Amino acid sequence: MMRLKVALPTEILVDTEVVKVTAEAENGSFCLLPRHVAFATALVPGMLSYVLPDGTEIFVAVDKGILVKCGADVVVSTRNAVVGADLGALKRTIEDQFKILDDRERKARAAAARLEASLVRQFMELERHG
């Protein structure tokens, strides 16, 4: 068995014993079983699933993140994730919420770059007149 933890910035969303974990990286889906070698990868926004010891499969929509398997521990660190049983709703969550967050992040980075450029220009002006 493995211990799966899905960590968000503000909470541990999942902390349970599992027999199988499936997730998505840039080069496609992959599956981890208990005897899998140590493994680390960057996750893309997509679906993560895990199987409990009783055979129940649980689905989690995850944003970008990192997955690390070391020994029996599988830790996923992501900015955002949602657990659910309805695959259609989770897919919409990935498409709507996580992509909106990415768009907001791009806009925030662009605004920060504009502020930085303005600050550099102001320093250059001060140097010329100083």
Residue closest to 16 by CA, chosen among 4, 30, 29, 8: 4
> If pLDDT is split at 50, 70 and 90, which confidence band does 126 have?
confident
Any bridge partners for residue 24, and if so which?
29
Collect all residues with Cβ–Cβ distance below 8 Å to 35 and sequence separation of at least 6: none
DSSP 85: S
The per-residue pLDDT for range 17-73, each reduced to its tens digit, is 999 999 999 999 999 999 999 999 999 988 899 999 999 999 998 988 999 999 999
Question: How far is Cα of residue 43 from the mean position of the Cα atoms in its chain?
Answer: 6
Is the predicted pLDDT of residue 13 greater than 90, yes or no? yes
| pLDDT for res 85 | 67
- Residue-wise over 37-74: b if at least 16 C-beta within 10 A, else e? eeeebebbbbbbbbbeeeeeebbbbbbbbebebeeeeb
Class of residue 6 by CB neighbours under 10 A (exposed 0-12, middle 13-18, buried 19+)? buried
The residues spanned by each domain of the chain are: 2-129
Q: Is the per-residue pLDDT at 14 higher than 80?
A: yes
pLDDT of residue 113: 78
Flag whether pLDDT at 123 surpasses 90.
no
Number of neighbours of residue 2 by Cβ within 10 angstroms: 20
pLDDT of amino acid 49: 95
- The model's pLDDT over 76-91, given as tens digits with 9 standing for 90+, comes to 999 889 887 677 767 7
106 residue type, one letter: R
- Supply the CATH classification number for the domain 2-129: 2.60.15.10
Q: What is the mean pLDDT of residues 104-126?
A: 75
pLDDT value of position 55: 95
Most confident of 8-17, 75-84, 101-110, 114-123: 8-17
* CA distances from residue 55 to 1, 2, 17, 47, 124 in whole angstroms, order as listed: 12, 14, 12, 18, 65
Q: Which two structure tokens, joined as six digits, stand for 57?
A: 């499969």
